[in-house]
Amino acid sequence: MVDINIIILGCALVTFIPRLIPAIFVDKLNFGPKVEKFLNLIPYTALAALICPGVLTVDNQLWYIGLVGAIVAAGLSWKKVPLGAIVILTVVVLVTVYSIVPMF
Amino acid sequence: MDKFLFGCKSAIPIAFGYIPMGIGYAALALKAGFNPFQTVSFSVLVYAGAGEIIAATMLANGATALAIILTNFVVNLRYMVMNTAIYNKMSENSLLTNILTAHLVTDESFAIFSFENESSVWFYSGLSITSWLSWILGAAIGVFVLDFLPEIVTNSFNISLYALFIAILVPAVKHNKRLGLLVVITALLNVILQFVVGNWSLIISTLLGAFIGMYIVDDEDMIEGAD
């Protein structure tokens, strides 16, 4: 069994260090344009990897629940609905889907 | 003080996203085996929505502590770039205020601070402290109410972070077709690599995707960064 406290402290440490470095060395840090582009791309590629295939495991039994949620969120986002509203509306749609589809 | 309050006010849209998201995170963390205290502590100490949700998901899927921590390191490395931009812009700051606010950068606080015509450390403090507290509040509400909510609702909350991820990605992809292509390539890489390297596929496909992106995504569209 994995020790959750170690995960918490480990993640806290490895997240804080990159945040702290520029706070101290702001005048001295200068990434080349290539490194900067690479680092700027990471959020997008990380999100892509997070969503796919993870979104299909939102419900362990019904894979399409996550797909429905993803399509709803993407559609709302395409229509420029604000972030907070997208999150709430997608949850509401899934509650509705669940009340139609019998759960096992 | 006025600037601090203006910062707090500017965090309201962030809080609207963070509170439901925090509840969604709490649902996943509890399911993955975190106790309520650990669930809230994680939000206080790590304060990185994507990183926390990945950790909880990986733990639920049986990943090792080392894989989880390394993945968090890679996924949260972007804060180094964001804080560099933030402290370059910030006025009236000192080494002490820099160190005190270093922990509070997120994609959202970075985005608002970058696009706002206000560079004061007080504005940023109001903005980022309010955002942080709303994220913690979301997790706290989550561990408190999830016990009373029916399974239909808690299961539905599992979608909330994915909804946010998608909501962040879609406008960027809509704006830049090559970035869209990169997102599809990375997603496919992650699916394929899961069969080869298991839980490490998230880090590897993230880094490999960003590396491929250096050659296929145009420079000029990258200015906005992750917002």
Does pLDDT of B120 surpass 60? yes
- Cβ atoms of B53 and A46 within 8 Å: the answer is no
Mutating which of B18, B19, B58, B69 best tests the A interface, going by the most A Cβ atoms within 10 A?
B69
Residue A103 DSSP label: P
CB contact under 8 A, B152 and A95: yes
B126-167: pLDDT as tens digits:
999 999 999 999 999 999 988 777 777 777 877 877 887 898
Q: Considering only CB atoms, which chain B residues are within 8 Å of A78?
A: 170, 174
Domain positions in chain B are: 2-157, 176-227
Confidence of residue B222 (pLDDT cuts 50, 70, 90): low
When CB atoms are compared, the residue of A49, A54, A78 closest to B174 is: A78
B91 - beta bridge partners? Answer: B120
pLDDT tens per residue across span A14-55: 999 999 999 999 876 667 888 878 877 877 888 898 888 889
Q: Does A3 touch chain B (CB under 8 A)?
A: yes
ipTM computed for the complex = 0.81
- Which of B136, B165, B182, B193 should one mutate to test binding to chain A, selecting the residue with the greatest count of A CBs within 10 A? B165
Number of helices (H) and strands (E) in chain A: give both, helices first.
4, 0
Find chain B residues with C-beta within 8 A of A61's C-beta.
none
What are the extents of the domains in chain A? Answer: 4-100
State the burial class of residue A60 (Cβ atoms within 10 Å of its Cβ: 0-12, 13-18, 19+).
exposed
Select from B17, B70, B152 the Cβ nearest to the Cβ of A83.
B17
Q: Which residues in B lie closer than 8 A to residue A91 (C-beta atoms)? A: 20, 24, 156-157, 159-160, 163
Q: Residue type at B60?
A: A
Q: Nearest-CA residue of chain B relative to A51?
A: B162
